[in-house]
Structure 1
Amino acid sequence: MSFYSVIERYSDFDIEEYFSGVTENMVLSSMRKENLSSKDFLNLLSPAALPHLEEMARKANKLTVQHFGRTISLYAPLYISNYCTNHCTYCGFSVVNKIKRAQLTLEEIDREAAEMAKTGLKHILLLTGEAKGITEISYLADAIKVLKKYFSSVALEVFPMDEEEYRILKEAGADSLTIYQEVYDRDIYREVHLKGGKADYRYRLDTPERGAKAGLRAVNVGALFGLGELASEAFYSGLHAKYLMDKYLETEVSISLPRINPAEGGFQAKYTLGDRRFVQFILAYRLFLPKVGINLSTRETEEFRDNLLKLGITKFSAGSKTTVGGYNDKNQSTEQFDTSDKRSVEEIVAMIRSQGYQVVYKDWEAIW
């Protein structure tokens, strides 16, 4: 069994028709349960739940404190290459976009890492475009070994790999994997992924599971909101996280809610996830999956991120640069997307502490 079989069970499911029958009592009943079913999760994602966000928020805060304490873990992305062989209509790295491209040498990666390490961060997310023939596994393994001199945790957000390839990078020092399905709707997936390995829906869908099988300690999933129908994408993202949590008990599972930001190529999102529904989705995730990590990136604005801190979030990105070579102010490439929260790590730390929360720079390290 794979998550694809879960998707298949909902192939004829009409989420809008289901929502039309959701009542206030159904929402309240689902909200107050200790263990929620997939239908309860749907009820909390429905329009009928919107008048009850305050009660959902109180429970979400309580559950988060219960399982995570009053803590926020920090991380930052490190882009080492933006070469890509995929034609994805929504991405600034798409092969058809005439942008400035670069790939760092190991010496340049060392300099970037040294600059990032000055902030005190110990967890980083290693990013590349999806160009397997250009960004080789051996190059990534060598890059990880460089980064491990500075950071206790190196997570991967690169092209999907086979299980054995993840084992190679785990041996090099990587411990976590972020891989967004982007859009769970298969028809839309085909429409927006026109060329390259990313066009293989099933291979990408099974990627988080291959990472878990390879022994990576943490896996992060999510949908890119704006591509598909909003509640449907939130629903399948939540089911994906639950599937992984239920099957891989030793794997730490997290979920992200990236919203499309302006990128090279001029893509216009078909769906717009407003702030209120964004909050609703976070709260629904927390009530449905009390132990799931929830990440919030610098795609979101300062004020919005500050207000969301107590509603179920467990991880913040801070001081993010989305260009290759960005931390040394030697931007060698076009940025993947525009960040909205441009505060420094120090400013993010001060904000978190001002709200009575503890900043976690490091919560894991391998014992070799």
Structure 2
Amino acid sequence: MSFLEIFNGYDRAEVARDIAACGAADVQRALAAEHLRLGDFMALLSPAAQAYLEPLAQKAHRVTQRRFGKTIQMFAPLYVSNECSNGCLYCGFNAANKVARRTLSLDEVEAEARILRQRGFRHVQLLTGEAPRAVNVDYLEKVVRRVRPLFSAISIEVFPMDEAGYRKMVAAGVDNLTVYQETYDRQLYDRLHPFGRKKDFDWRLTTPDRGGAAGLRSIGVGALLGLSDWRTEGFFVGLHARHLARSWWRSRVNVSFPRLRPADGGFQPLAPVSDRALVQLLCALRLLMPDAGLVLSTRESAALRDSLLPLGITQLSAGSSTAPGGYGHEHDGSEQFAISDERDAEQVCTMLRARGYEPVWKDWDRVFLEDKAV
């Protein structure tokens, strides 16, 4: 069964009511469970679970330590274009925003990539807006092949493709796909995306499945926190992640927790998410998905990122720029959003080691898949 069919089988209002109806006994049962059912997951997202935040955090910590040890994978985003034809109201790349637009040449992409390599990164995430005339599959294929020799792992967070497009990405050297649904509320999604290809809710919802079918090594999902009720959004993120883990068992599943940040256009959160709520969501998802990678970007403050480490985070970005050419030219191009944690990679690694963690720059290499002549 496709995730679209699974998703369409749920009524959002009923999900919200079921979460709100959970009581202390439901939370206690969920905390005692070895494997969570969806009803248990709802209980851990519920208002009743707020009184159990400490035992929830402790269990999430134990599960993470057992599955991942004390290692944190480091990565950096590399924005190759901020051109976009979509009208996403919350995004700095919104086509209606009067900002400087730029798509990097292959030489410029390589120059940015070499800066990141010099800083120690061996895992890079390539990002773009959605502008078919400026950035298409062929351009991205060339970008990936150009930077492939510099990195052991390459991720993409770009416009949705069909399965054939993702197969081209895999052949070029892409390992990982990240695609946020933004919000799992159909009606709100429609209002937030007044024009552009991204307006197609179903096409975006089924994107991770196309990536799985194409053979990507990992698939990442998430909701943009601050657009709608975080408890209901969290449930559908978990439902989506669980489906991907079951359907594409050869691919690792990652979950991200992006909260809205200031950006060109001045969009304000419709449903602000507190730090305590973020902790509850993160811990609940860790217990639902014990083997998933949990990702926290520089959207969050240094102090909060440091505090959330023990609760389930396995991947961190550092020293990030969200503007094309931003590593070589600090103010070259408009940013997608403003970062909060401005520490460079060395400072983040120093913090990790001081807390007993080992930063991992390279935990994968495609050479592992290559046949060796005897």
Measured against the shorter chain, the TM-score band is over 0.9
CA shift, 1:5, in A, is 1.4
1:208-256: per-residue Cα shift (whole Å, max 9, x none)?
1101100110110000011122111111001100000011110010000
1:321-343: per-residue Cα shift (whole Å, max 9, x none)?
00110111254211110000000
* Pair 1:159-2:159 in alignment: yes
Aligned to 1:241: 241
TM-score by length of 1: 0.98
* Paired residues of 2:83 and 2:129 also in contact (CA < 8 A): yes
RMSD of equivalent CA atoms: 1.0
Paired AA for residue 332 in structure 2: Q
Looking at structure 1, the residues matched to 213 and 138 of structure 2 have their Cα atoms a distance apart, in angstroms, of 21
**Number of equivalences:** 368
* Paired residues of 2:106 and 2:146 also in contact (CA < 8 A): yes
Matches within 5 A, 1:317-356: 317-356=317-356
CA shift, 1:110, in A, is 1.1
* Paired residues of 1:227 and 1:270 also in contact (CA < 8 A): yes
CA shift, 1:12, in A, is 5.7
| 3-state SS of paired residue (2:306) | helix
Looking at structure 1, the residues matched to 68 and 362 of structure 2 have their Cα atoms a distance apart, in angstroms, of 14
* Pair 1:216-2:195 in alignment: no
Aligned to 1:260: 260
Looking at structure 2, the residues matched to 194 and 162 of structure 1 have their Cα atoms a distance apart, in angstroms, of 23
Looking at structure 1, the residues matched to 290 and 315 of structure 2 have their Cα atoms a distance apart, in angstroms, of 15
Paired AA for residue 264 in structure 2: E
Unaligned runs of 5+ in 1: none
Looking at structure 2, the residues matched to 47 and 20 of structure 1 have their Cα atoms a distance apart, in angstroms, of 6
Aligned to 1:145: 145
Q: Which moved more, 1:251-260 or 1:8-17?
A: 8-17
Q: Relative to 1, partners in 2 of residues 1:12 and 1:78: Cα closer, same or farther, differing over 3 Å?
A: closer
Q: Relative to 1, partners in 2 of residues 1:20 and 1:158: Cα closer, same or farther, differing over 3 Å?
A: closer
Aligned to 1:3: 3
Paired AA for residue 244 in structure 1: L
Aligned to 1:57: 57
1:295-339: per-residue Cα shift (whole Å, max 9, x none)?
000000000000000000000011100011011125421111000
Paired AA for residue 28 in structure 2: L
Aligned to 1:292: 292
* Paired residues of 1:46 and 1:231 also in contact (CA < 8 A): yes
Unaligned runs of 5+ in 2: none
* Paired residues of 2:12 and 2:232 also in contact (CA < 8 A): no
* Paired residues of 1:208 and 1:219 also in contact (CA < 8 A): yes
1:47-88: per-residue Cα shift (whole Å, max 9, x none)?
100111111111111111111111100001000100001011
Aligned to 1:24: 24
CA shift, 1:350, in A, is 0.4
| 3-state SS of paired residue (1:209) | helix
Matches within 5 A, 1:107-122: 107-122=107-122
CA shift, 1:147, in A, is 1.1
* Paired residues of 1:132 and 1:159 also in contact (CA < 8 A): no
